[in-house]
Structure 1
Amino acid sequence: MALLPPRPQVPHQPQAAGGQNSGQLNVQPPIQTTQSALSAQDLSRAKALSDRLRARFATSLVGQESLREALITTMTAGGHLLIESVPGLAKTTAAQILASSVSGSFKRVQCTPDLMPSDLVGTQIFDFANQRFHTELGPIHANFVLLDEINRSNAKTQSAMLEAMAEGATTIGGKRIPLPKPFMVIATQNPIEEEGTYTLPEAQMDRFMIKAVMTYPSADEEQRMLGMLTQRGSDSLEPSQMGQEALSNQDVLFLRDAAKRVHVSDSIMGYAVDLAATSRGMGTRPIPGLASLVRLGASPRASIALVRMGQAKALLSGRDYVIPEDLKACAHDVLRHRIMLTFEAQADGTSTDDIINTIVETVPVP
């Protein structure tokens, strides 16, 4: 392969007055994008806030540590979360605990096939007394929104959710209305029921930063859960009985801002890109035969999610820099819903987690 000859050096030409320089390109100085580094006080505050969140979970949820960490980390990273499990594993309870742990607004939407976009986003209602329209906001205009059984909503309603999750705003009557900050969508879906459900399209799935899959609790955890219920005397969740003080919206915004200031080295960014590219059959070490198993790999949004989740994990661990283990810890949740298997792989019983295991083992760690 022939190498291109080196580009000749062009002597610097002074720019003429008024910003004009005839015959020469006007090269602008690079934009400064550096952010202030995290201080020890910032790290201490972030650790204290995360400990308060975990303490509130401990009073109302037994086991499911991976789901608890996924909820807290995704909130810190500023993303949306999809939870998948069979019925009865406390998906809704976990989402309610997170929402009640922050003194922001919370709305729950039970998705059904007849749910319309206006039921979710809002609509304009004509006031005959004043002879004018006024806007009635829907439940999506809240800090935390729980979309229960999201795959039961029709495609039209799912598209309305897509705009809110992607743009952070809704459109009602041609007017753009921003959503409150912080804003987070927690959606649940049941994988075993197909009647009356609508499969989420790839574009909708990709908007979720991670997809958490819950498993059955152990016998010891299930017994502890029964003990907690009998001692509490109520099956409903009472935020006033959680002990720890709830976080404010400003606390959540602080966590999100601090997470974005966590240092990410070039090698870590390259590692995130390599993980996503390997799922597409590329990367530094392509996996032989992957094309027969994967029909669609992870999009570049996956590498963004890996870095954002890695920054959040580092912050919640008390570090101001990301290490490869941060990306490894969230690789399954980030890539699980972004890798589409072929029919042959599904027929052979291969799962996306199996593919991700191979990717993580194959990609060299920096």
Structure 2
Amino acid sequence: MMQAEPIRQAYQAARAKGLRARDAAEHIGLSEGAALAAHLGRHEQPTRSVALRPDWLALLKALQACGPLLALTRNRSVVHEKTGVYEKLSAHNEVGLALGKEIDLRLFFKQWHAGLAVTELNADADKPASSSLQFFDRYGVAVHKIFLRDSSDRAAWNAVLEQWQDRQAAAPVFEPPAAIEPKGAEPTVDAAAFAQAWSEMSDVHQFFPLLREHGVERQHGLRLVEGRFTRRVAHASVRQTLMEAAFDNTPIMAFVGSSGCIQIHSGPIKRVEPLEMRGQLWLNVLDPGFNLHLREDHIGAVWVVEKPSSDGTITSLEVFDQHGELMALFFGARKPGQPELTAWRHLLEHLTGVEEGSLS
């Protein structure tokens, strides 16, 4: 195992090259959690970390006094950033909810292995250091991050840090990063029974139990009802949908998940910009209070999915990467008890199917 100081030096060298924290850690062969855990204790590097006491719900509840904070949840391919107040938090059986006006989260605390308070000094000494709370799964992959903003109550934030930091705790230990396993052969399923059960859904939240009951993973389920409730569309459909939603002012819901958190934006989007950088193709939403960064070059499949409900048909755009992992979900903005927005449905109706055009 590498000693802490060589890890710190290698990580800081990678950061100095302009790599983001996750990429810098991967550059030196570590998970982000492991790289930051090496920054506990007294040292001279610009990044410092302190372990947090693992009472996650109480910690998140304490953040309400801090005012607006930046919530960040990401997976390999999409970053979801939302600014707002952590409020209306609750939990049951290690599943938590944040139902604030802006911060809307589903929290799977069973996956929260460790938390760190992270301070990163700014290269410009006249600018304040970055201060954040970062939470990791057992592999050292970030499940959720929370950043102090200029509009936050810094005194309240410092009080939370003082209360929840555990300076005597040892550095958390993480397992080696899990390899991406190729999808195995799809099990034999009674497709007719699955389609019948799909048709009988009365709530979109019945979808996950439906998959579990029939022993299928998400995309397998979509394939089983393709042509009736689902259809594959071109990879460019994600860009087209977001740009048209922005142009038409159609409010959307954007879901992005890690292993331990799903973060949701509900509302209109305004500024949608693609960007090609260092051989990567990013699709960005750059709005006050909401940013989304999606790797278009990671897209492996895009589906339009219709689920029956007591409020009528609910239609989503579901985006998967080239390994079959879910990248993001998009819906028309709605509340329970409300029908789907006609404008949203029209956006998806006009998307080109993969049999009609290029995948990319």
Interval of TM-score (by shorter of Structure 1 and Structure 2):
under 0.3
Greater percentage in strand: 2
TM-score by length of 1: 0.25
TM-score by length of 2: 0.26
Which has the bigger relative contact order, CA under 8 A and spacing at least 6? 1
Greater percentage in helix: 1
